[in-house]
Structure 1
């Protein structure tokens, strides 16, 4: 966490500290004696310590290991003797029935016992988690709860998401008088048994027979019992995310928790991204991309979020609130962070709201663990214009404008041609430099090759004073005028297959009779299976990256997300340049990275 910089309260934005009396502040009910009765007498006596009861979080019993008690601030062994099978069976006999997810409870309590089983199905480990009903834990977001908007709670395990969910259900049912239905998959919200725990107040509880049926029970709750609020814990599958959207679109307030510490975790999670509206790749027009100052393919939110409000629970007394999830997601996808609203509680139960500078976004942070950066940040080679398109040697598209420009440049006279060409003898007596008349070849590429290779070649616009013509193969084939003029002046024509640096380099070396010519890279249409525009565009992108960044700059380049078929073509293109490439990321954002030699 980056060091925060609290903003001073402004009258319109500050929230006064809570003035609740001590009796109205947090009250805890844990029924710990009921859980201790489950353990064998020796372990029960070691755990029943008045000074430590309030801080006990869970008890871990593993076969052949010493029993362990875990507190909020530490863990310690409670016996020198190892746990036996008899002790584990003693505990299992005194709790409820274990469901298919290996969870059980104790009737009319909130405690949860989870089993670890061997291949034969025998319990070889137990995790006994203390469940507490804490009243007053949602004072920090009480105003948000009563708005009637759907709320999503995020946080690591053990931070108090289920406790807050239980309190929200009670407040909405008792204080707000709403019809609340709790979908309790593992009986963790309202306790084990047929009678729900008093901690949820007047809210009704629907149990789930098997965890994989949770999404069906969610829909059943709305269709059969007319709730105004549905409370659900641990939304973790795509079906549950779709059921949550269905409930929210029917006008029912939804309060739930999901796996993940922050909203950015949901953005990168294809299973749960629908909770925040879903993410899709969008291709912008040239004008819009220029206006945004970004690349043409960007990530955008697909639909309105299922949850209008999100709460990131970093600590039990420190929560980050996003009152407008849609705006937050849009900002994150564009590489910027909104100001963080921090709600915290002190030891006396008084809470306050501050606004802090945001942390660096995981979507825009550098490093291999956050490669979505190349799709979201408005920086890099493409955005800076250093990867400008080069005309392809393809026969598709309109050629009239290109041909007209060539004809206009025909037979242009060099500005300083009054005297003879200046030449010096080469190592074998040849006349250097060789004056070349380019026809249809990109001048910028020619000048770049000449500068890098230090070739004794001079470019000229005077055809009569040229020693040779360098032209695109398509131009020589389709323009008889060029062949006639070259024949009249007795000039050799050297053909370039495509307007690429390797092709131009090979042609110039061949023109000078050099033997160290580089390998020729085939034309793009030879890679594309059927001249598909998307494939040609992807191959052109890879070619530009190789010729303008990877080879001259010696830097790796990440390309845009493509389908597996197109990525295979890009891999083959990189191999022709004798460069290494690999794919990374998750679909549909999987993309290619090309490395320098």
Structure 2
């Protein structure tokens, strides 16, 4: 015989790193294994949304972990109203009652675990009430294969493609696709206490996963700056600065469209395939099409649409081309960005200086890049035996 004693605590300020997301108007699902702080985040979200922003917030408290078991809710949930659930299987009924009778702007739910509760979430979202909820799981892939909860992110259905469409995509005729719009717009994986992987667009993420494309969540850590991710975002925004439009609209001639789509996803360049040449701002073709499709290419030239020829008509060749396109206009450097990021993370995490050796010119480039993050660096020694010291303190 054992006894489990769970003590809920109101930990203020725990969601500062996620404040921009929690205070937005998007439906939010928190995903994580037991004990990583999901309920603590919900409690703090209820307090801030109800007290600081003045929202009408209702907490569906099934196990009394958010607002406590007393007649008066714990002050940790601020001005939010609490609706207790008499027994576990009645949670979806209380959720619907909250919408129909209490006019909430935000409903907060802890532990969605049954198909009926997932269906109630969709009903609430379709009525225009914002949802913030939690579910057990370690990743978004878990939800995709969970028949009970997959409706939270749109569900999965099997689709039979035409021969033409299957050939265009480079896939089998029967594929898996998202069944409906997801209930939750944004999903946050709580990988461990204070470490969050954020999928800002759940629909786009699910579509990418079902088509076998890699997905890249934004990583945030409590108490640390998100400077790494922000710098990456800024670099991606400037990578196609020579394009008239921020999004590449590619018309493919003789190139498998699925190669281009997979390359765009894996290299994280914003773009899509268009079927109408007038909508394109870039034409990609192979050498054979350059000779056989002269009339189309002349028409594109008259429209002043740039035409690029790919040397190797393969997935690898298309990826190399897209990578070159993304890096166009960036200053050439021998510095490995990922290596520099790892060095900075190590210095910040351990709190001790780190010393590295290398070519003096390369060390100077690394020092310039590290100082953009706000850390202090120092070059010591004489050429050609110089060293770079990175200090954990900020400028």
Matching residue of 1:352: 226
Q: How far has the Cα of 1:338 moved from its partner?
A: 2.0
- Counterpart of 2:143 (choices 266, 269, 278) is 266
What is the rounded CA distance, in whole Å, between the counterparts of 1:340 and 1:139 in structure 2?
Answer: 19
1:537-559 CA distances to partner (integer Å, 9 max, x unpaired)? Answer: xxxxxxxxxxxxxxxxxxxxxxx
Query: Gaps (5+ residues) in structure 1?
Result: 1-123, 358-377, 380-597
Matching residue of 2:166: 289
Q: How far has the Cα of 1:138 moved from its partner?
A: 0.6
Matching residue of 1:197: 74
Q: How does 1:42-121 map to 2 (within 5 A)?
A: none
What is the rounded CA distance, in whole Å, between the counterparts of 2:119 and 2:42 in structure 1?
Answer: 20
Cα 1:353–1:167 shift into 2, 3 Å: farther
Is 1:339–1:355's contact at 8 Å kept on the other side of the alignment? Answer: no
Matching residue of 1:170: 47
Is 1:340–1:355's contact at 8 Å kept on the other side of the alignment? Answer: no
Q: How many residues align?
A: 233
Matching residue of 1:148: 25
Matching residue of 1:343: 220
Q: Tell me, what secondary structure is at the counterpart of 2:4?
A: strand
TM-score, scaled to structure 2: 0.57
What is the rounded CA distance, in whole Å, between the counterparts of 1:187 and 1:130 in structure 2?
Answer: 11
Q: How far has the Cα of 1:353 moved from its partner?
A: 5.2
1:371-398 CA distances to partner (integer Å, 9 max, x unpaired)? Answer: xxxxxxx99xxxxxxxxxxxxxxxxxxx
Is 1:228–1:252's contact at 8 Å kept on the other side of the alignment? Answer: yes
Is 2:43–2:67's contact at 8 Å kept on the other side of the alignment? Answer: yes
Alpha-carbon RMSD: 1.7
Query: Gaps (5+ residues) in structure 2?
Result: 233-257, 260-395
Q: Tell me, what secondary structure is at the counterpart of 2:147?
A: coil
TM-score, scaled to structure 1: 0.38
Matching residue of 1:256: 133
Q: Tell me, what secondary structure is at the counterpart of 1:144?
A: helix
Per residue, is there more helix in 1 or in 2? 2
What is the rounded CA distance, in whole Å, between the counterparts of 1:264 and 1:229 in structure 2?
Answer: 27
Q: Tell me, what secondary structure is at the counterpart of 1:282?
A: strand
Cα 1:248–1:353 shift into 2, 3 Å: farther
Q: How far has the Cα of 1:350 moved from its partner?
A: 4.2
> Are 1:219 and 2:93 matched, yes or no?
no
> Are 1:330 and 2:207 matched, yes or no?
yes
Is 1:341–1:353's contact at 8 Å kept on the other side of the alignment? Answer: no
Which is higher, the Rg of structure 1 or of structure 2?
1
- Counterpart of 2:183 (choices 288, 299, 306) is 306
Higher relative contact order (CA 8 A, sep 6+): 2
Is 2:8–2:66's contact at 8 Å kept on the other side of the alignment? Answer: no
Is 1:343–1:353's contact at 8 Å kept on the other side of the alignment? Answer: no
Matching residue of 1:449: none
Q: How far has the Cα of 1:340 moved from its partner?
A: 2.2
What is the rounded CA distance, in whole Å, between the counterparts of 1:151 and 1:165 in structure 2?
Answer: 11
Matching residue of 1:134: 11
What is the rounded CA distance, in whole Å, between the counterparts of 1:354 and 1:232 in structure 2?
Answer: 32
Q: Tell me, what secondary structure is at the counterpart of 1:206?
A: strand
What is the rounded CA distance, in whole Å, between the counterparts of 1:226 and 1:293 in structure 2?
Answer: 49
Q: Tell me, what secondary structure is at the counterpart of 2:197?
A: strand
